[in-house]
Amino acid sequence: MAQEKKISSKYIYFFGSFGGILFGYDIGVMTGALPFLKNDWSLTNASVIGWITSAVMFGAIFGGSVAGQLSDKFGRKKMILVSAVIFAIFSLLSMISPNNGALYLIIIRILLGLAVGAASALVPAYMSEMAPANARGSLSGLNQTMITSGMLLSYIMDFLLKGLPEAWGWRVMLGCAAIPAVILFLGVLKLPESPRFLIKNGQPDEARQVLSYIRKDDSEIEAEIKGIEIAFTKETKVAEKTAWATLFSGKYRYLVIAGVGVATFQQFQGANAIFYYIPLIVAKATGNSASSALLWPVIQGVILVLGSLLYIVIAEKFKRRTLLMLGGTVMGLSFILPSLLNLMIANMNPITIVVFLCIYVAFYSFTWAPLTWVIVGEMFPLAVRGRASGLASSMNWVGSWAVGLVFPIMTAAMAQEAVFAIFGVICLAGVLFVHYCVPETQGHTLEEIEEAGMNHGKNKD
């Protein structure tokens, strides 16, 4: 039978994480498009610039939440397909924005954000449910590699297209986002559904077949099937009554706060201020035009991709908490030190801040960037996984939207060094949060994480 044809595990993991390309491309594309759009439409209002840039993230707040719930009902695969279609349509609609149509572009990008947010919630959930426990960190890290590859691709496209007339350059940059969306749709058509979703919906034989594609032997498959069924049986009655309030009930509270907290801190730490506005940051620091600074995003993109590949290599060699605390500490100092140096050294070389931003990006790329989505994918109990993943994704996008919106407003009102110092303090607060509130999950099955978290919740009650 056609549906019994074996699917390569490499194919499953590649296209299972390919949704990150959409996420990454749209994070990065406005970085290069914005200088041309500003000139084409003569944009000077910082609030309008912030809204155009952050509109996708505003839509993603709702896309992540809705997708998490719908994926529990219809499956991870179907919702990824829907996200790809929405992404392709609204990328093309962005390209044909009417001249000086700021409101139109903002609305279209908000709707586009629904698909971006959905992908950010669905891909980590799918990958964590497909990956074996001893490789879940590195395989889930593929999502981050895809995100950073999408960002680098958008930066390269922006750089290559910078010679086009201003009125066309930014349009082509935005419209090209439809290409990876079409590739994702075609690739996901062949993917199997998540085995945990299949068992949850009374299809253990289909789940067993899916696991045969990605596990080594029958004993491993049967042990995993049994573990999923036991966990699901325990949660069935609760799941039927699951509401938003359930997420913060006693036995779930600990794990939900940990996962949602990490997802929230990741964005409020200010990474996307760099990714969205690096040409404008360099222009303000050096006095050169933003359109002449489009090589800097490419450099940042290369750092991000190399960091994501480094993470895949070291994912199972270091504890999750260790990497998060190391990364957060260096990231915080990378933001705070330029402000201190600027106070102590007269006429400090303006490129110094850009060098420190590169250090920030390097450590972010193999710590908070990939680990946030690994933790979101593995932290939440089955009964609340869809809603909790959606909430974590939405809070992540709240931070992304807020940073994208207020950064140009803040830099118009105060020195860039002071703005980054504020983000640096938030980075260090994130380190404290991880130390006190986030459990270690490396090497544990999803069911073991769930049991430990629920026992912790009971002990706190």
Tell me the pLDDT tens digit for each residue of 63-114. 877 887 788 888 888 999 999 999 999 999 999 999 989 999 999 999 999 9
Distance (Å) of CA 319 to CA 139, 371, 372, 381, 438: 15, 10, 13, 21, 12
Q: Which residue has the higher pLDDT, 433 or 119?
A: 433
Contact between 31 and 279 (Cβ < 8 Å) = yes
% of the chain residues with pLDDT over 70? 92
Residues whose CB is less than 8 angstroms from the CB of residue 319 and which lie 6 or more positions away in sequence, other chains included:
440, 442
Q: What is the mean pLDDT of the chain?
A: 85
Q: What is the CATH number of the domain that holds 200?
A: 1.20.1250.20
Comparing 170-179, 180-189, 379-388, the range with the smallest average pLDDT is 379-388
Tokens of 435: 């130390």
Q: Which of 73-87, 266-280, 424-438, 446-460 has the highest mean pLDDT?
A: 424-438
Tokens of 292: 């002449």
pLDDT digits (tens, 9 = 90+) for 265-279: 999 999 988 888 888
Tokens of 361: 């990006």
Residue 144 within any structural domain of the chain = yes
Q: Which domain holds residue 60?
A: 7-460
Residue 347: HSE in the Cβ half-sphere, 13 Å Cα cutoff: 0
pLDDT higher than threshold 90 for residue 430: yes
pLDDT category of residue 140 using cuts at 50, 70 and 90? low
% of the chain residues with pLDDT over 90? 31
Q: Which of 145-149, 213-217, 240-244 has the highest mean pLDDT?
A: 145-149
pLDDT digits (tens, 9 = 90+) for 353-368: 888 999 999 999 999 9
- Residues 123, 377: Cα–Cα separation, whole Å: 9
Q: How many CB atoms lie within 10 A of CB 4?
A: 7
Contact between 90 and 56 (Cβ < 8 Å) = no
Q: Which of 251-255, 293-297, 390-394 has the highest mean pLDDT?
A: 251-255
Tokens of 19: 């949704």
Residue 53 within any structural domain of the chain = yes
Mean pLDDT of 145-161: 88
Q: Which residue has the higher pLDDT, 148 or 90?
A: 90
DSSP calls for 328-395 = HHHHHHHHHHHHHHHHHSTT--TTHHHHHHHHHHHHHHHTHHHHHHHHHHHHS-GGGHHHHHHHHHHH
126: left (phi over 0), alpha (psi -120 to 50) or beta: alpha
Distance (Å) of CA 2 to CA 205, 209, 212, 286, 315: 16, 13, 15, 60, 36
Residue 393 within any structural domain of the chain = yes
- Residues 285, 415: Cα–Cα separation, whole Å: 10
Identify the three-state secondary structure at position 75: coil
SS3 content of the chain, % helix, strand, coil (to 5): 85, 0, 15
pLDDT category of residue 2 using cuts at 50, 70 and 90? very low
Structural domain count of the chain:
1
Mean pLDDT of 335-356: 84
* Residue (of 248, 193, 157) closest to 74 by Cα position: 193
pLDDT higher than threshold 80 for residue 243: no
Burial, 348: exposed, middle or buried (Cβ in 10 Å; 0-12, 13-18, 19+)?
middle
Identify the three-state secondary structure at position 193: coil
Residue 328 within any structural domain of the chain = yes
Residue 155 within any structural domain of the chain = yes
pLDDT for 291: 62
pLDDT for 335: 94
Residue 68 within any structural domain of the chain = yes
- Residues 410, 387: Cα–Cα separation, whole Å: 33
pLDDT category of residue 236 using cuts at 50, 70 and 90? low
Lookup result for tokens 């940042």: 300
Residue 1 within any structural domain of the chain = no
pLDDT for 136: 67
Tokens of 136: 């879940």
Residue 2 within any structural domain of the chain = no
- Residues 240, 453: Cα–Cα separation, whole Å: 20
pLDDT digits (tens, 9 = 90+) for 303-329: 999 998 999 888 888 899 999 999 999
